[in-house]
Amino acid sequence: MASIPAPQRALRGHRAQRPMPRVRNSAEHHAWLAQHLTPRDRWLVRMIFEHKVFTTHQIIDLCFPSRRAANLRLHNLHQWGVLHRFQPHRDSGSHPMHYVLDTAGATLLAHEHGLEPAALRYSRDREIGRAYSLQLAHTVGCNSLFTTLVRHARCAGATGELTAWWSAARCGRHWGDIITPDGYGRWRQAGRELEWFLEFDFGTEQLSRLANKLTRYEQLATTTGITTPILIWLPTLEREATVRRTLADTLRALDHPDRVPVATTSAPASADPLDMTQPRWLGVGDTGTGGRVALADLPALWPGLMPPAAHAPDTRGLGLPVEKRVDLAPPHPMPPPQPAYRGLR
């Protein structure tokens, strides 16, 4: 069972690591990696490039059958210069290892797409600097909500699947002139598919800023003609109650509140706080009078909500990148099939 994600103040100060021998970033080494990296390794590189940082727990949820298998493979990827790792300091207990992309991983990713490494604008110093970023806890918390969905989809007999997952950075490149969500996702279950924008709040965001976001989401829906639900994760029931009152007032003041479907959840004391599939979502506004529902049942809160279009989300909306750069297609959030896991060395 996952625990409530640690706030940023718990991640300040970092334990120095003992120096370890590392392979050189040479052409010979990259040629050697071509023989030893599995499809799962390459997929994990693409995922970390997209979502910036994963903990050991999240990587297990994403693509490994056990902790032992993950630790063995991640040790090799670290030694080979594909991934870099760090461990934030904790006064009591310890945080898991956090993994970011290292130079060899960025180089192989660029070569797979026929690019020069510089075209990806990769910076090793910037990636390692995430260990000290004030956004580290927020990024890890957002990613946990999605990796938990992948874990559910990988279970035997699972009926749901995460069909799309965009990072905050990708969302910003496409919709940043109007909205800057913390993520975008699509979930398919029992013949139904739901897409959503994610807002992840540790309880530190000003209520006025949260309210202003609804106005911007209304503007996006009016501009694109596509209504997309907004799901808001909050740390406590008390914070959720306060936020819900503010959101309800804001919705009533909108010209088209039906274009801004909103649901909230908070971290329960006796369940997995990051499991989005559970009946934990409560609609805001006219749909907020019923009980909490599961992720797959959210469309029932908004009967007029159209199902996601068949096209990918990058072909909809404004599609106006805010910076000139090579933008790789987002990786599929589900890992390669089981046969790709064999032959690990």
State both tokens at 130. Answer: 């995430």
Give percent of the chain with pLDDT exceeding 90.
Answer: 72
Lowest mean pLDDT among 13-17, 95-99, 137-141, 176-180: 13-17
Q: What pLDDT was estimated at residue 174?
A: 92
Q: What pLDDT was estimated at residue 58?
A: 98
Q: What pLDDT was estimated at residue 10?
A: 65
pLDDT in tens, 193-211: 999 999 999 998 999 999 9
Q: Are 98 and 87 in contact (CB under 8 A)?
A: yes
In the chain, what are the domain boundaries?
Answer: 8-15+24-136+335-341, 168-315
pLDDT band at residue 310, thresholds of 50, 70 and 90?
low
Q: Are 152 and 171 in contact (CB under 8 A)?
A: no
Residue 291 sits at φ, ψ, to 5 deg, of: -85, 180
Q: Are 300 and 293 in contact (CB under 8 A)?
A: yes
Q: What pLDDT was estimated at residue 327?
A: 82
Rg of the chain taking only CA atoms, in angstroms: 20
Q: What pLDDT was estimated at residue 208?
A: 93
pLDDT band at residue 322, thresholds of 50, 70 and 90?
very low
State both tokens at 334. Answer: 């589900």
State both tokens at 121. Answer: 């604008």
Residues in a beta bridge with 197? 184, 230
Entry pTM: 0.88
Indicate if the alpha-carbon torsion angle 159, 163, 82, 171 is positive or negative. Answer: negative
Q: What pLDDT was estimated at residue 95?
A: 87
**How much is the mean pLDDT over the chain?**
88
CATH class of the region 8-15+24-136+335-341? mainly alpha
pLDDT greater at residue 131 or residue 325: 131
Q: What pLDDT was estimated at residue 27?
A: 86
What DSSP letter does each residue of 45-71 carry, written as one string?
Answer: HHHHHHH--EEHHHHHHHH-SSHHHHH
Q: What pLDDT was estimated at residue 319?
A: 44
Highest mean pLDDT among 197-206, 304-313, 330-339: 197-206
Residue 180 has pLDDT above 50, yes or no: yes
pLDDT band at residue 325, thresholds of 50, 70 and 90?
low
Residue 315 has pLDDT above 90, yes or no: no
- Segment 58-67 mean pLDDT: 97
Residue 345 has pLDDT above 70, yes or no: no
Rounded CA-CA distance 177/216 in Å is: 10
**Cβ density class 47-85: b for 16+ within 10 Å, e for less:** bbbbbbbbbbbbbbbbbbeeeeebeebbebbbebbbbbb
Q: What pLDDT was estimated at residue 5?
A: 72
Q: What pLDDT was estimated at residue 4?
A: 67
Residue 215 has pLDDT above 80, yes or no: yes
pLDDT band at residue 229, thresholds of 50, 70 and 90?
very high
Q: What pLDDT was estimated at residue 321?
A: 44
pLDDT in tens, 1-52: 556 676 766 665 555 454 444 556 788 899 999 999 999 999 999 999 999 9
Q: What pLDDT was estimated at residue 337?
A: 85
pLDDT band at residue 320, thresholds of 50, 70 and 90?
very low
Q: What is the DSSP letter of 114?
A: T
Q: What pLDDT was estimated at residue 228?
A: 96
- Segment 58-64 mean pLDDT: 97
